[in-house]
Amino acid sequence: MSTAPTIPPIVNRTMAFVLRSPLHDLVSRSVLLITFTGRKSGQRYTTPVSYSQEGDQVTIFTHAAWWKNLAGGAPVVLRIRGRDYAGVAEAVANDKPAIAAALAEHLRRVPSDARYYHVTFDSQGNPDPVTLEEAVETVTLIHVRLEAERILQ
Domain positions in the chain? 9-150
pLDDT digits (tens, 9 = 90+) for 81-133: 999 999 999 999 999 999 999 999 999 999 999 999 999 999 998 999 999 99
**Which residues, 6+ apart, have CB-to-CB distance to 12 below 8 Å?**
47, 48
Q: What is the pTM of this model?
A: 0.87
Counting every residue written for the chain, the total comes to 153
Half-sphere CA count of 133, side-chain side, radius 13 A: 3
Does domain 9-150 fall under CATH 2.30.110.10? My reply is: yes
pLDDT digits (tens, 9 = 90+) for 132-145: 999 999 999 999 99
The DSSP 8-state label assigned to residue 8 in this structure reads P
Q: How confident is the model at residue 153 (pLDDT cuts 50, 70, 90)?
A: low
Distance CA 99, CA 119 (A): 14
Distance CA 83, CA 28 (A): 10
